[in-house]
Structure 1
């Protein structure tokens, strides 16, 4: 975690040890250092999610920045009925949907694994090529899914959110989430059959 201008500690504690609820209350009181910890802690996951839902890096950055700007102004109203992480995902999902509505198509052009996660000096080039092909096939299969099932799958399988949290993020019910995940998993199993 970057400690930047606010130093190694915040509120007399290592910033990594401060619970989200405390950070949210501090940020609601316009504590910029607390908000920076929130951004550092949750920003990568929100970016990952938005990037996989949108097809343009600039749209993704704009979406995540808009989500954090909305969070900053809305934190005084954050009641804590959900976790801060779930609340931030809900804001980001709303911004993603808004961005998708402004565009005529949605796609997922980049590899599922971020470029900085790929070992460019793999010892086994054949295995590396297979892995790249597998990720490309997964990307293609994900692009075929409608936004709802794709979002549910990403939030569950990549970000580890519970069904209840996904329902809250999506503004739907856990039954709908189950249905979306069933649809997404079925589609992916069918499309990825050749990779078994």
Structure 2
């Protein structure tokens, strides 16, 4: 682009955003639709833990994609695109959730699933893990009822944790993010992430132990 004086100028902000977007797509080896297909399901799961319902989560994810496309010119590649994208998602989901005045949803615990790096952190439920080798349908009625009750209690205990501890447990234990990426997403140090996760595990373990002792 040239100015009125005939000298070359840099691209305008919209042009820079288009260029940055194209560079991202080229480097990723796929088009924008493929990027959405790749990240959308996980984005919806993460957003759902901050807002009241699936419709709200979908709104947050759509807002995140729009914000990401508008902000691509400022993406400096100091982190991966995925980490940068999810940092935007979490910020918007937090804001949306606060407006709804609700507690962080931890519904994924219903399936008793822990993935990724979180698999090695299951020690916070060392002898009373939620779920088990058998499906609920394969258990005796008493076992199925107890398993359901334990899942409910774990959800209750996690919902009672401080907000940041809930967030760290969600991202690490359920989504499998490494400490460094969680650090970027939540804008706290990796050391602080580890401390928060340890405290969360300790509290949930103690609450579950107290609950089980009351049943004896």
CA, structure 1 residues 85+94, in 2 after alignment: closer, same or farther (shift >3 Å)?
Answer: same
Q: Does 1:133 align with 2:142?
A: no
Question: What TM-score do the two structures reach when normalised by structure 2?
Answer: 0.66
Q: 2:104, 2:163 within 8 Å by CA — same for their partners in 1? A: no
In structure 2, the partner of 1:57 is 54
CA, structure 1 residues 186+120, in 2 after alignment: closer, same or farther (shift >3 Å)?
Answer: closer
> 1:48-78: per-residue Cα shift (whole Å, max 9, x none)?
1121233322222211221122122223432
Quick one: distance in 2 between partners of 1:192 and 1:53?
Answer: 24
1:174 Cα deviation after fit: 1.6
> 1:134-162: per-residue Cα shift (whole Å, max 9, x none)?
32222111211222111111111111112
* Segment of structure 1 superposing worse, 137-146 or 186-195: 186-195
Q: Does 1:39 align with 2:36?
A: yes
Q: Does 1:77 align with 2:74?
A: yes
Q: 1:111, 1:135 within 8 Å by CA — same for their partners in 2? A: no
Q: 2:52, 2:97 within 8 Å by CA — same for their partners in 1? A: no
Structure 2: segments with no counterpart, 5+ residues: 1-20, 112-130
Structure of higher CA gyration radius: 2
1:92 Cα deviation after fit: 1.0
In structure 1, the partner of 2:12 is none
Question: What TM-score do the two structures reach when normalised by structure 1?
Answer: 0.71
1:120 Cα deviation after fit: 9.2
CA, structure 1 residues 81+133, in 2 after alignment: closer, same or farther (shift >3 Å)?
Answer: same
In structure 1, the partner of 2:188 is 172
* Segment of structure 1 superposing worse, 137-146 or 55-64: 55-64
Match of 1:189 among 198, 205, 208: 205
1:100 Cα deviation after fit: 2.7
Number of residue pairs aligned between Structure 1 and Structure 2: 169
Quick one: distance in 2 between partners of 1:141 and 1:112?
Answer: 11
CA, structure 1 residues 121+99, in 2 after alignment: closer, same or farther (shift >3 Å)?
Answer: same
Quick one: distance in 2 between partners of 1:108 and 1:144?
Answer: 11
Q: 2:165, 2:197 within 8 Å by CA — same for their partners in 1? A: yes
CA, structure 1 residues 83+93, in 2 after alignment: closer, same or farther (shift >3 Å)?
Answer: same
Q: Does 1:163 align with 2:179?
A: yes
Q: Does 1:25 align with 2:24?
A: yes
RMSD: 3.2
In structure 1, the partner of 2:127 is none
CA, structure 1 residues 106+27, in 2 after alignment: closer, same or farther (shift >3 Å)?
Answer: farther
